[in-house]
Amino acid sequence: MKELQKEKDKEEEKLNDMLYKLRGQTEKLRKKKEGIVQELNPHVKKYTELKNKLEELKNEFRLSREQRTNAEADAENVEGDIQKFNDELNKSKKFYTQIETALQKMAELSKDHRKQFKDLDQQEVDLVNEVHEVNSRLQEIKQSSGQAQVQNQIINALLTAQKRRELHGIYGRLGDLGAIDLAYDIAISTACPQLDNIVVNRYDEAQKCVEYLRLNRVGRATFIALDKIGWIREHMQRPFKAPANSERLFDLIKFKDENFRMAFYFALRDTLVCKDIDTATSIAYGTVRYRVVTLRGELIDTSGTMSGGGKPKRGGKCFMKLCLTKNFKEWEPSSKKKFLKSKSNN
């Protein structure tokens, strides 16, 4: 053991000697190494920078490649979306075309329906007006039927008495002794209340009629005695020219007998008829005052008073049905067409 220890010590001494000898050499190498290291430091630093830059570029390249891959995938997805969008767009275009066609058809149907509704509304208005007109006419007929019945009873009683030769010279109700176009029904019925007067030949015959009615309690009546109105013949025969847009009612009447012409002039005088109230006003209140009546029954008297409104008076005369009898076939008013046209326009 001691020998081994000694051997170890010897070897350590040798080693120390060798280390001492090598220390000088190592120091030289160390210094040389330090010089080389100092020379290499800039290169190492640059290498490190280049290595870091390379790593950065590798990372950027990797990211760019990943982005490209992702972009390509996205592009493929976008192309798929575009194709889907184009398919949906084509479907939408077809659907839009169908909708547009349907809308056009609906617009046409709506237009037709609106026209139908408008026509139906107008028909309803017309029907309501017709119903009102019929009801109004019915009321007038009911109202006038009583008066007409009384009037007919009076006329019939007088004519019956004349047939028995109790009375003489009775011609009849003034309104039944002439005819006028139906277009002037309201106008003449409004302007000539004397249409219900009874025309007789002489005044004394009228007195006998009044006495007969009183004694027999038939009713009351007003009479026009032709022998008492002869003074009006001169006025009747004077030339007369109606103002523009008007006619004299007297000139539109066709008489059963010329003897009754004077009675109608006595009742009407120079009363004018025109189509509307504006025309009537301009004529009635002009330089020369006229008595004017419209086709609707508005009456302006020479005194300036105006009457109208409410239900127009009708049926004062016998109209076209009389004109078709034996004595009236040739009659047709000279201004008939003009007034009918004016009335329709109004």
What is the pLDDT at residue 318?
A: 46
Amino acid sitting at position 60: E
Model pTM greater than 0.85? no
Determine the Cα–Cα distance for residues 333 and 318; give it in Å rounded to an integer: 15
| Cα distances (Å, whole numbers) of residue 113 to 88, 99, 122, 245 | 35, 20, 14, 42
Spatial contact of 267 and 284, defined as CB atoms under 8 Å apart: no
Determine the Cα–Cα distance for residues 79 and 76; give it in Å rounded to an integer: 5
- Using only C-alpha atoms, the chain has a radius of gyration, in whole angstroms, of 63
Spatial contact of 202 and 169, defined as CB atoms under 8 Å apart: yes
Amino acid sitting at position 14: K
User: 308: phi > 0 → left, psi -120 to 50 → alpha, else beta; which?
Assistant: left
pLDDT one digit per residue (tens) for the chain, 346 residues:
777 787 877 788 877 777 777 777 777 777 777 778 777 788 778 888 888 888 888 888 888 888 888 888 888 888 888 888 788 888 888 888 888 888 888 888 888 878 887 888 888 888 888 887 777 766 765 665 555 677 888 999 999 999 999 999 999 999 999 999 999 999 999 999 999 999 999 999 999 999 999 999 988 999 999 999 999 999 999 999 999 999 999 999 999 888 899 999 999 999 999 999 999 999 999 889 999 999 999 999 988 888 865 556 665 554 433 332 333 333 333 333 333 333 344 3
Determine the Cα–Cα distance for residues 186 and 264; give it in Å rounded to an integer: 17
What is the pLDDT at residue 326?
A: 31
CATH code linked to domain 123-345? 3.30.70.1620
